[in-house]
């Protein structure tokens, strides 16, 4: 009986922590509705969490998660800095006790981003900040070198930062192909709950889960360089192998499937109508066996744009399978129309 009571209490407190993390306004009402307990009982659990310094109450009467651990490091960087040594000597112990699957992803994420700093940024140091709450951990890595978008833009002779972002999100992009395959950002972004890159006032953010997507917005940035932020739940059930397998196949092992987000080819409010936009969207997809063209947040497309992607390109590159995902009815009708021409 005592064991069941203790377990129920742990469940109530876990629910409260999650509700606080989601910034829900009425924690007490939600907990009473979820567990059928009195408001007084919920307040006892809230007091327990406050005394444990896992949550605190703001001046407005709302609750927020407390930072239970915070660490900062300034790491020297050279092109030959071994990222695994830095991980073991500086970063691993900062994370504290975590499940093996979470540690695996933190090791992958940190070493990939730190390696990018050392190999591509030209920065002499990297600032690392880690903050942990009862539920999740956030790591920020900031260098003061050449910004990532500028680096890719100049190396590939692209149009603008938006074009660089489109290429970065496809994967297999590197400014040093002899030393790096360019897989890091593609997979790191999908291992973490949220992953963001801020450079030159442009913020690129990826959210994992069912709504796998990238967003782009402007944000004020202090100083040059690139700031990468990664957040992961401490009890995440995500496994690295599942992420790798999602973008490979039995017939094409390794990184053989990419996702191309059509909305990243947008410029302002202009619609995707031209063949040149379609060709830009399809640049480098011949490095993959399968290209998923994701039309989430794209309401409509032009006939020439659709024809280039779904008729012309497959005829010129039969080795690449082009598939559309998350299409609106209008977009799907246009795609079906151009495909009927080849039938």
pLDDT digits (tens, 9 = 90+) for 261-301: 999 998 777 899 999 999 999 999 999 999 999 999 999 99
**Is residue 109 a contact partner of residue 98, using CB atoms and an 8 Å limit?**
no
Domains 2-65 and 69-240 agree in fold: no
**Is residue 325 a contact partner of residue 293, using CB atoms and an 8 Å limit?**
yes
What pLDDT is recorded for position 342? Answer: 73
Residues 6+ apart with CB under 8 A from 272: 262, 265, 266, 278, 281, 298, 301, 302, 305
What pLDDT is recorded for position 50? Answer: 94
What pLDDT is recorded for position 91? Answer: 96
Neighbours of 337 (CB within 10 A): 14
Model pTM score: 0.90
In tens, the pLDDT along 38-87 reads 999 999 999 999 999 999 998 777 899 999 999 999 999 987 778 999 99
In tens, the pLDDT along 314-327 reads 999 999 999 999 99
Query: Looking at the domain that runs over 69-240, which CATH code has it been given?
Result: 3.30.565.10
Mean pLDDT of 6-14: 89
Q: Domain residue spans in the chain? A: 2-65, 69-240, 247-340
**Is residue 295 a contact partner of residue 325, using CB atoms and an 8 Å limit?**
yes
CATH topology (fold) of 247-340? Rossmann fold (3.40.50)
In tens, the pLDDT along 230-257 reads 999 999 999 999 999 999 876 667 889 9
Rounded CA separation 320/182 (Å): 20
Residues 6+ apart with CB under 8 A from 312: 275
Which residue is associated with the tokens 């000597």? 89
Q: Could you say which architecture CATH assigns to the domain 2-65?
A: Orthogonal Bundle (1.10)
């Amino acid at each position: 009986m005592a064991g069941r009571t203790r377990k129920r209490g742990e469940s109530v407190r876990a629910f409260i922590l999650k509700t606080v993390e989601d910034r829900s306004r009425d924690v007490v009402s939600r907990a009473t509705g979820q567990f059928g307990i009195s408001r007084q009982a919920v307040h006892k659990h809230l007091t327990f969490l406050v005394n444990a310094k896992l949550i605190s109450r703001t001046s407005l009467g709302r609750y927020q998660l407390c930072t239970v651990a915070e660490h900062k490091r300034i790491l020297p960087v050279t092109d030959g800095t071994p990222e695994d040594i830095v991980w073991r000597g500086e970063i691993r112990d900062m994370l504290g006790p975590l499940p093996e699957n979470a540690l695996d992803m933190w090791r992958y994420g940190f070493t990939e981003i730190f390696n990018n700093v050392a190999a591509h940024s030209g920065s002499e140091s990297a600032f690392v900040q880690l903050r942990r709450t009862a539920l999740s951990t956030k790591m920020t890595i900031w260098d003061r070198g050449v910004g990532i978008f500028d680096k890719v833009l100049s190396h590939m002779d692209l149009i603008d930062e938006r074009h660089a972002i489109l290429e970065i999100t496809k994967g297999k992009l590197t400014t040093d192909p002899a030393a790096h395959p360019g897989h890091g950002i593609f997979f790191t972004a999908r291992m973490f709950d949220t992953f963001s890159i801020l450079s030159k006032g442009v913020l690129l953010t990826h959210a994992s889960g069912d709504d796998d997507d990238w967003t782009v917005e402007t944000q004020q940035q202090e100083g040059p360089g690139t700031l990468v932020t990664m957040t992961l739940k401490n009890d995440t059930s995500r496994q690295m192998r599942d992420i790798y397998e999602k973008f490979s196949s039995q017939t094409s092992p390794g990184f053989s499937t990419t996702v191309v987000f059509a909305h990243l080819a947008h410029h302002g409010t202009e619609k995707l109508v031209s063949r040149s936009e379609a060709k830009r969207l399809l640049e480098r997809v011949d490095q993959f066996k399968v290209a998923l063209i994701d039309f989430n947040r794209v309401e409509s497309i032009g006939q020439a744009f659709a024809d280039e992607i779904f008729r012309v390109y497959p005829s010129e590159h039969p080795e690449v399978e082009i598939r559309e995902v998350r299409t609106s009815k209008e977009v799907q009708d246009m795609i079906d129309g151009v495909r009927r021409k080849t039938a």
